[in-house]
Amino acid sequence: MDLDEVIEGLELLKPWIPEKARKAIIASQILSGNDAYERVRPLADVVRAIIIASGKGIASLPESEELEGEIYLGDVMLGELKLGEFRLKRDDLIKGVTIFAPSGHGKTNLIMQFLLELSRLNIPFTVFDFKQDYRHLIRKIPNLVVLKVEWLRCNLLDPPPNVNRFEWLMEVANLLPYSWGFFHWGTGSYLTDMLMEAFNQKEDLTLFDIYELVKQDDITSRRKADWHDVLESRLSSTLRTLGKVIATKKGYPIYKLLKLPLVIELYNLREADAKLIVSWFLAYELHYRRANRHRGKLYHVNVIDEYHRVVSRQHEWSEMTKEMGDSIIERQAREFRDFGEAGIYAFQEISRIHHSVIENSELKICGNLSSWEDIEVAANSMNLKEEEVRTLDHLQVGEWLVKRRGGSAFILRTPLIELRKDLGDEELQELMKDWIAEISSYDRERIILSEEEVAALQVLSRYPFASKSTLYELLNGLGRLERRVKALRLLIKKGLVREEKVFVYSTRPTEFLIPTEKGLSFMKASGIEIKVWEKVLKSTKQGHGFKHACIIYHAWRELNKLGRAWMEHRVGEKQLDVFAVINGIKLGVEVYVNPKVDWKKLSTALRALDLLVIVSYDAKVHERVKNEVMQVGSLLEKIIFYTSPPPFFKDLKRGLPFLYQIRWKMPEIR
């Protein structure tokens, strides 16, 4: 008997004949020529015939002990023949599971099978659900808790129990840049500075405090200004969508959630915000387990379907990664198992996932991959033989090629979970109402507004550049003046609105009201439209704050009464604050709150204009602006300077008297 044939035949009988016995057969074959194989050969022939008949090729068959464990996942198949059941050991689960297959192959269904088993075994889990798939499992797991992310009231800056506050803030300083995708070390370290400053100033911090600090920070250099702008805009947009969720003082403690069978719905979140939530939970778990010496057994399972949404391969090679070290996502793949935190991750394209995540997973479950690139990466990372790779192509929906590290690859068929997918938002809210109430009871600073205050916010939401006195007029539907004054005063006191004084029409400053981040996040949550403000605040970030935007808005309004005017209009290479055409005269207006002038660009605009009005915010700014502007040379004669806004607005009201005088004048100061 040919020895190769014996080895090949015994390989087919792995599920039935233990390894020791197979070795004994081979040994006796070699040593004594005793044909022990003959006795099992008919069985091997049957198995081979089944494989050929199935036309699917063959994965190597698993040893019987590889199939033993607590977590039932489905049946091991040989063609249409069921060889046995596959149960995963808890310990293997701790070491990580990755599932990769194209859309519609059954990843979500397989994860549900996992969850049914975890729930049967009372193992807590957290599913991060981007597609509202898992809420329906409540029909099969009655104690399942399903929370929309917006129902959470937690505090990102609260450390887990027994974790040092400083250490935790450093972790936050590390995870925020990853979630937000700062591709610059400078912004990251600027954030760290801000967190440290806040740490020294007060306890009970929230991200709202950090945002206020950043806003008030003096910008000393150009470089710092860039970091500042990036950080400020990230903080503000995140706080606007997730304000209460991540920045509730003394919020709901996350470790309580880790004891539940839990689904957190991240439906409709922007990628950066979803990443923030996921990395926050993961970092929290790591610090929590470590500080509380949780080790040596399985405590909790993280489940991330659509994993590519939180970790992508681009990260791996980015400058940021080189400069800042590993993200929590990578550390998770390596460190979590030590602390009894398991992970099940599913995604479509293996070639786009950070390789350490795949390398570090103990069990890999692979579906019918479509691209060559994916097949190659999968084959490498699973260490597949050629004939095993060929089986990939034959896998049907719900069938998988499964391999443990160092184990054999076999084919698994998972059961289809019959589930009605009809759980709507209202029913969910009703089912979860106790949880929602419990969590929001932690939000001690619940903002409750009177009818007048809400009305005031509604008016403010529509008229960003209306002065305080104009707002009082707009609110006259509310009755007596005292009531209107009181409503606005209370909004300021509650921190939803702040005042800013701007010199516009008169030598006494005009008062304006601006919603704070807290205010915007509240307005958004209560259905008040904030688009107008988002636009204003976005443009003020690029420019020079609210003052600048406010002055150019009013200049635009007044100029429109005299002719036609446009805000932020490009002339030559210059984006002019206001451009107007009045009686055929082309007029530009530039407002300087900071003395930052690009005179070269300005001169390209000057060539196309008849007249440029430069309005500085005060005499000091004017001196510096003028020095810069001098460099435009002979074009200077087209410029009229104002040392502050009030005289300019006075002239505007009078119809810009200089327009009616001679067109070309010597530069003059008014």
Residues found near ligand ATP in the complex (CB under 6 A): 101, 103-109, 348, 397-398, 414-416
CB of 113 to Mg ion, least distance (A): 13
CB of 178 to ligand ATP, least distance (A): 25
Q: How far is CA 144 from the centre of its chain?
A: 25
- 105's contact among ligand ATP, Mg ion, none, with CB below 5 to 8 A by partner kind, is ligand ATP
Q: Which is nearer to ligand ATP, 81 or 447 (CB)?
A: 81
- 29's contact among ligand ATP, Mg ion, none, with CB below 5 to 8 A by partner kind, is none
Q: Residue with CB nearest Mg ion?
A: 108
Q: Is residue 108 a contact residue for Mg ion (CB under 5 A)?
A: yes
Q: Residue with CB nearest ligand ATP?
A: 398
- Across the strands, what pairs with 343? 302
Q: Which residues contact 203 (CB under 8 A, 6 or more apart)?
A: 165
CB of 477 to ligand ATP, least distance (A): 51
- 398's contact among ligand ATP, Mg ion, none, with CB below 5 to 8 A by partner kind, is ligand ATP
- 585's contact among Mg ion, ligand ATP, none, with CB below 5 to 8 A by partner kind, is none
Q: Which is nearer to Mg ion, 400 or 556 (CB)?
A: 400
CB of 107 to Mg ion, least distance (A): 5
CB of 421 to ligand ATP, least distance (A): 9
- 397's contact among Mg ion, ligand ATP, none, with CB below 5 to 8 A by partner kind, is ligand ATP
What do you get for the CA distance between the two ends of the chain, in Å? 110
Q: Which is nearer to ligand ATP, 104 or 633 (CB)?
A: 104
> Residue 221 gets which letter from DSSP?
S
Q: Which is nearer to Mg ion, 268 or 469 (CB)?
A: 268
Q: Which is nearer to Mg ion, 107 or 136 (CB)?
A: 107
- 633's contact among Mg ion, ligand ATP, none, with CB below 5 to 8 A by partner kind, is none
Tell me which residue of 373, 398, 403, 406 sits closest to 388, measured CA to CA. Answer: 403
State the Cα–Cα distance between residues 670 and 657, nearest whole angstrom: 12
- 160's contact among ligand ATP, Mg ion, none, with CB below 5 to 8 A by partner kind, is none
State the Cα–Cα distance between residues 405 and 95, nearest whole angstrom: 10
Q: Which is nearer to ligand ATP, 52 or 416 (CB)?
A: 416
Q: Is residue 64 a contact residue for Mg ion (CB under 5 A)?
A: no
Tell me which residue of 254, 263, 270, 243 sits closest to 150, measured CA to CA. Answer: 243
Contact 609, 664 (CB under 8 A): no
Q: Which is nearer to ligand ATP, 347 or 512 (CB)?
A: 347
Here the tokens at position 242 are: 């997730």
CB of 58 to ligand ATP, least distance (A): 21
- 364's contact among Mg ion, ligand ATP, none, with CB below 5 to 8 A by partner kind, is none
CB of 271 to Mg ion, least distance (A): 17
- 481's contact among ligand ATP, Mg ion, none, with CB below 5 to 8 A by partner kind, is none
Contact 300, 344 (CB under 8 A): no
CB of 86 to ligand ATP, least distance (A): 13
φ, ψ for residue 355 (rounded to 5)? -70, -25
Q: Is residue 109 a contact residue for Mg ion (CB under 5 A)?
A: no
State the Cα–Cα distance between residues 640 and 96, nearest whole angstrom: 70
Per the listing, tokens 């390209």 go with 604
Q: Angle between the 222-246 and 271-291 helix axes, to the nearest 10 degrees?
A: 80
Q: Which is nearer to ligand ATP, 103 or 661 (CB)?
A: 103
CA angle 60, 65, 68 (to 5 degrees): 110
Tell me which residue of 150, 151, 149, 171 sits closest to 159, measured CA to CA. Answer: 171
CA angle 578, 580, 581 (to 5 degrees): 170
* Helix locations, 421-544, DSSP H: 425-431, 433-440, 451-462, 468-474, 481-493, 517-525, 531-542
Q: Which is nearer to ligand ATP, 84 or 415 (CB)?
A: 415
CB of 410 to Mg ion, least distance (A): 23
State the Cα–Cα distance between residues 530 and 520, nearest whole angstrom: 7
CB of 346 to ligand ATP, least distance (A): 7
Residue 640's H or E segment, with its range, is strand 639-642
CB of 415 to ligand ATP, least distance (A): 6
CB of 25 to Mg ion, least distance (A): 45
Q: Which is nearer to ligand ATP, 348 or 643 (CB)?
A: 348
- 343's contact among Mg ion, ligand ATP, none, with CB below 5 to 8 A by partner kind, is none
- 104's contact among ligand ATP, Mg ion, none, with CB below 5 to 8 A by partner kind, is ligand ATP
| Residue 394: Cβ-neighbour burial (10 angstroms; 0-12, 13-18, 19+) | middle
Count the Cβ atoms, other than its own, within 10 Å of residue 250. Answer: 15
Segment contacting Mg ion by CB under 5 A, of 49-57, 106-114, 271-279, 329-337:
106-114
Q: How many residues bind Mg ion (CB under 5 A)?
A: 2
CB of 347 to ligand ATP, least distance (A): 8
- 603's contact among Mg ion, ligand ATP, none, with CB below 5 to 8 A by partner kind, is none
Q: Which is nearer to ligand ATP, 104 or 325 (CB)?
A: 104
Question: What number of residues does the chain have?
Answer: 670
Per the listing, tokens 């704050």 go with 545
Q: What is the DSSP string of 105-151?
A: SSHHHHHHHHHHHHHHTT--EEEEESSS-GGGGGGT-TT-EEEEGGG
Q: Which is nearer to ligand ATP, 236 or 414 (CB)?
A: 414
Q: Residue numbers of the site for Mg ion (CB under 5 A)?
A: 107-108
